[in-house]
Structures are given as structure tokens and as C-alpha cells.
Structure 1
Amino acid sequence: MGVVIRTADGGDRELVAGLLDSAFQDDPVSGWIFPGEEDRRTTHPRLMAAFVDIVLAEGRVDVTEDGAACALWLSVAADGGDEDDEEGFARLREALDPGNERIEQIGTLTAAVHPVGRAHEYLWMIGVVPGRQGEGLGAALIGSVLERCDREGVPAYLEASSVRSRKLYERLGFELVDRPLDLPGGPQMWPMWREPSASR
């Protein structure tokens, strides 16, 4: 039986934010942004909710019908899209945790490595609740968009935040862009690009 996927709306905000919070609590990048466990427990959910709000307003959120997995997508123009992205992270820092410069820093660093010059679909985040990881839900969510990308001749981009996710994306046709992004005093992220292909 296939995975049923639907487009989320404002009524799904809490579901999606909670799902992302549980999926990324132990993620290396989340641990770098919020190195203190208590801070991560309290502030991380608010950051995930802010991300959901941004993508619900500017992009698309796909969620499995059972609410176990979701993907946040933005369509990026050839010129790189919104120049206010970095300012947006500064505002997030001010609103959520003014003393935590890493909330702003992660936006600045990922923006600096984000490819420009071609329109593409950007997988900002994808999350699967911990008890359901490894069932193919993430691949199904990504695959539905990649099929459209192939039909329409549109590339896709993402930043992998763990070795495990990087391997999944490689299986789906993504390749490392240039070199990994080294977070200062923290883990690596892997900027990855996928060319569309009619043969996939």
C-alpha cells in the first residue's frame, strides 16, 4: 500500500511543528543551535513552528495522511529569491532567543552556500517522527516532488544535516555541491543538488 500524501494548511500548523520538533530534537544541527538540552527542549519547538509559518506562507508543506512525516518546500527563483532571508533569521533570533547568535548564523551560513542562477525546488526540511523512521516515508515525500521536477525539468536542492540523511538523498539522485559546510565548532552540513532527468 502506497504512502498517502496531502498538502498541509494552517490547520496543520501544530501537527507539523510538533512533528519537526520530535524529528530534529537529536539532530546534529539542532544540537549545535541549541547545545543546552533544556534550552533545546523549550526553544527548539518554537523555532520549528516559526519555520512552518514561513513555509505555509511562502511555499508548500506536504504531510503524510497519518501525520507521521512532513516536508517543507520552497520554490526558488533563478536570482536566488528573497534577499531578506538573512534578515528573517535575525528577526527569528530576536523573537525566539535574542542571546543565541546561532539561530541567525545558521541562516547566514546556509544562504552563503545556496546555489543561484537557476530556478529550483528547495527542500528546506523533512521530518519523520522517530518511531517511524526507516519505513520509506521520507523517500515517498521527496519522491513525489522529484517526479514533478523531472517532468518539468526543474532541479532540486537541499542541505543534509546528518550522514544518514545524506545517504538517503544520494540514493534519490542528489550530489554534493562543491564541499560540505562546516558549522563553526559544530557538525557538517552537506549542500546537495539534483538535476532533473526524464530517464529517472
Structure 2
Amino acid sequence: MELEIRQAGESDRAAVTRLLDEAFMDDPVSGWVFPDEEHRRRVHGLFLGVFVDVALSEGRVDLAADGSAAALWLRVPAGEPEGEDDTPSRMRETADPDNERAELVGRLTGAVHPTAEAHEYLLMIAVSPDRQGEGLGTALIAPVLERCDREGIPAYLEASSTRSRRLYERLGFEPTGTTVDLPDGPPMFPMWRKPQG
């Protein structure tokens, strides 16, 4: 599928955040972080806006030109990160200060993030709910994976459901052999993709 893609800028922040909010509203991990649906509708966009801010300032956001899909990418260098990552605490402070799960999910995913090799990290990908199943997500990330293959760079992500895990497996990602086990919640599946070709 041909998809016109552009790099999002600060002026796209609200639209990208709204897209993530809609796409992940019923995601198992979002439901675990914010179990009360009414409360989730109030704070979910604030929570996901932190991810958008990180990608806009430290990575990039690839956006379908029609606004139907967005992928948030970070280039992660090899080695342990310098200093403590304050993103998990910002997630909690920004969205829901009394909810420790809003921070814990970031701490747990950070604890298993690979450090041995530089890689492209697919932080999040969202497709508008009324366009899901059309292949937009695959079309959106394909150019990055093709570049990874050309340059010999691996890619990494955490799948938030078994459905998304199956999709990523079709794109060459493999489970790392560990899961992110949210207390009394759904598992997340760290996945690694070696450069192919």
C-alpha cells in the first residue's frame, strides 16, 4: 500500500496525541494503567502526550499525511543510559499524580530495554480506530525497517497485546524471551528485529 508520510512537528502535537488517545483507549495496558473508563477518558491523552513530547524532542514522529496513523521513533545508542530517565515520573505527574501505575509501566518497560546494541525503538504506533485493519501501520513503519535493513541496525518495541505481537512477528520482530509483567495486569511483549536481507 502506498502511504504518504511526513515528519510531524510541534504544530502536530495535539493531532498526534488525539490519535494515540483514540487508538489506545481500549488497549489492555491503558486499561490496566487507568482501570476506571471514565477517569481514563479524562487523563489518557495527557499521559500519552508525554510520549509525543519525548518523540518530538528526542526522536521523530512519522505521520500519515491524512492524519490516520502515526509512529513515534527514538534512536537509542548502545550502552546504559546516562542518568535516570525521568519520563516515567513525568508520565505520572502530568496525567495522574495519585496513580502509581502511570509511572510503574514506564519503569518496568525501561528495566528490560536492551542496551547492548544501538537500535531504532518504536515507542508507539497508532492507527485511527476507523482505519485499523487496512495495512496503514505496516505501511507507516516499513520505510524505517527498510532503512534498518540497509544500514544494519536492529529495531525494538514492546507489543501491548497478543494481536499486535502477531503483527510484529510478520514484520520480522521476534520475542526477546522475556515479558513485562504488569502486577495483576496484562503482559507486554518486548520484541527485537535483527536487520534482514
Q: Secondary structure at the match of 2:78?
A: coil
- Residue 187 of structure 2 is aligned to residue 188 of structure 1: yes
Q: How far apart in 2 are the matches of 1:144 and 1:194?
A: 14
Give the match for residue 92 of structure 1. Answer: 91
Give the match for residue 67 of structure 1. Answer: 67
The code of the aligned residue for 2:119 comes to H
- Residue 35 of structure 2 is aligned to residue 35 of structure 1: yes
Where do residues 2-13 of structure 1 align in structure 2 (5 Å cutoff)? 2-13=2-13
Q: How far apart in 1 are the matches of 2:145 and 2:17?
A: 23
Report the count of equivalent residues: 197
Q: How far apart in 1 are the matches of 2:90 and 2:123?
A: 18
Give the match for residue 176 of structure 1. Answer: 175
Q: How far apart in 1 are the matches of 2:82 and 2:87?
A: 10
Q: How far apart in 2 are the matches of 1:80 and 1:122?
A: 15
Give the match for residue 116 of structure 2. Answer: 117
Q: How far apart in 2 are the matches of 1:107 and 1:192?
A: 16
Aligned alpha-carbon RMSD (Å): 1.1
The code of the aligned residue for 2:50 comes to A
Deviations 1:121-144 (A, max 9, x none): 000000001110010000011111
Cα distance, 1:178 vs structure 2: 1.6
Q: How far apart in 1 are the matches of 2:149 and 2:94?
A: 39
| Runs of 4+, deviation exceeding 6 Å | none
Cα distance, 1:95 vs structure 2: 3.0
Where do residues 99-138 of structure 1 align in structure 2 (5 Å cutoff)? 99-138=98-137
Where do residues 40-51 of structure 1 align in structure 2 (5 Å cutoff)? 40-51=40-51
Cα distance, 1:82 vs structure 2: 4.9
Same amino acid, percent of matched pairs: 60
- Residue 163 of structure 2 is aligned to residue 164 of structure 1: yes
Q: How far apart in 2 are the matches of 1:128 and 1:83?
A: 33
Give the match for residue 16 of structure 1. Answer: 16
The code of the aligned residue for 1:170 comes to E
Q: How far apart in 1 are the matches of 2:122 and 2:77?
A: 14
Contact preservation (8 Å) 2:47, 2:92:
no
Q: How far apart in 2 are the matches of 1:130 and 1:105?
A: 27
Label 1:15 to 1:129 Cα distance change in 2 as closer, same or farther (>3 A): same
Cα distance, 1:185 vs structure 2: 0.4
Q: How far apart in 1 are the matches of 2:56 and 2:183?
A: 30
State TM-score, norm by structure 1.
0.95
Deviations 1:59-85 (A, max 9, x none): 000010110000000000101445432
Segments of 5+ residues of structure 2 without an aligned counterpart are none
The code of the aligned residue for 1:183 comes to L
Q: How far apart in 2 are the matches of 1:137 and 1:81?
A: 32
Q: Secondary structure at the match of 2:178?
A: coil
Give the match for residue 141 of structure 1. Answer: 140
